Amino acid sequence: MVGVESYLLERIRKEGAIHISLLDPENIEPEDAKLIASEAEALETAAIMVGGTTLASVDHLNAIVKAIKASVKVPVILFPNNVTGISPYADAIWFMSLLNSTNPYFLIGAQALGSAIVKRYGLEPIPMGYIIMGEGGAAGFMGQAQLIPYDKPEIAALYALAAQFLGMRFVYLEAGSRARYPIPPSVIAKVRETIDIPIIVGGGIRTPEDAEVIVKAGANIVVTGTMLEGKPSNFKPILGEIVKVVRKTGMEVLKNLGDRPSFMPRNMARR
């Protein structure tokens, strides 16, 4: 199987932007996970992420990941809050550092502790810089983040550029799960003009309009979590619209760039 990172990059290269569904094991049972993931896959979400800020039970995580793996073909990527967020049943793991944490544990401590188990399980690590902004939600609180205000896009851009220079291959701009306001387009646009690696945006995205604005501003991956936790009959129409608008807007952005993937270095524009 082609690596998960290559798969994501290839899809972004072709489509400009993709949607990923996030399932928080703390809010669901394996049976729900199975159903939600297969509905999301049918609506053409590109991958399933599994993780949650206060996740502590590895057994429950394993049961959820196993259930999802049994029901979908798209990759399952762990989104760990701590070393307890690692499961051998996933395909890959965002190997992430919370760049604006004030606690070294979330910068490098947990990663050091988790590294050997990631290797032992044969999980594909995908290096990612995680930046929490705005109100930050539970992730901001638990991760002891020095939250970057939405009206300071230049600060977010500096952290994102540092992530790129440190060799991280994706940057995640996080508003916090259930955030009242998703990351604003002014922030995404500033980060987009500053860095050359793909941008992931999540937190508080509830409508196709939110998703459209976010992709237009330069996001390559749009993550939605909470909206998937209801009954499939409730979330299906809206999720379908979100996935569609992400891809449609992504294609438009690509076209405007002259087919140069938005995350490619500016000096690598199509010759």
> Under the criterion CB under 6 A, does residue 224 sit at the interface with ligand 1GP?
yes
Among residues 226, 241, 260, 264, which is the contact residue for ligand 1GP, using CB under 6 A? 226
Residues 17 and 247: beta-carbon distance below 8 Å: yes
Among residues 41, 174, 210, 212, which is the contact residue for ligand 1GP, using CB under 6 A? 174
**Residue 150 CB burial class (10 angstroms; 0-12, 13-18, ≥19):** middle
> Under the criterion CB under 6 A, does residue 220 sit at the interface with ligand 1GP?
no
Residues pairing with 98 in the sheet: 130
Closer CB to ligand 1GP, 77 or 205, in the complex = 205
Among residues 22, 157, 173, 215, which is the contact residue for ligand 1GP, using CB under 6 A? 22
Closer CB to ligand 1GP, 41 or 174, in the complex = 174
Stretch that binds ligand 1GP, among 37-45, 99-107, 186-194, 203-211 (CB under 6 A): 203-211
Q: Closest distance between ligand 1GP and the C-beta of residue 119, in Å? A: 25
List C-alpha distances in Å: 213 to 36, 38, 50, 228, 256. 25, 27, 25, 20, 15
Distance CA(222)–CA(213), nearest Å, equals: 11
> Under the criterion CB under 6 A, does residue 178 sit at the interface with ligand 1GP?
yes
Q: Closest distance between ligand 1GP and the C-beta of residue 226, in Å? A: 3
**Stretch 100-159 residues interacting with ligand 1GP (CB under 6 A):** 139
Q: Record the tokens describing residue 139, joined without a space.
A: 């992730």
Among residues 134, 153, 185, 225, which is the contact residue for ligand 1GP, using CB under 6 A? 225
Residues 31 and 24: beta-carbon distance below 8 Å: no
List C-alpha distances in Å: 136 to 95, 173, 194, 212. 20, 10, 22, 22
Distance CA(154)–CA(145), nearest Å, equals: 17
Size of the residue set binding ligand 1GP (CB under 6 A): 15
**Would you tell me which residues interact with ligand 1GP (CB under 6 A)?**
22, 139, 174, 177-179, 202-205, 223-227
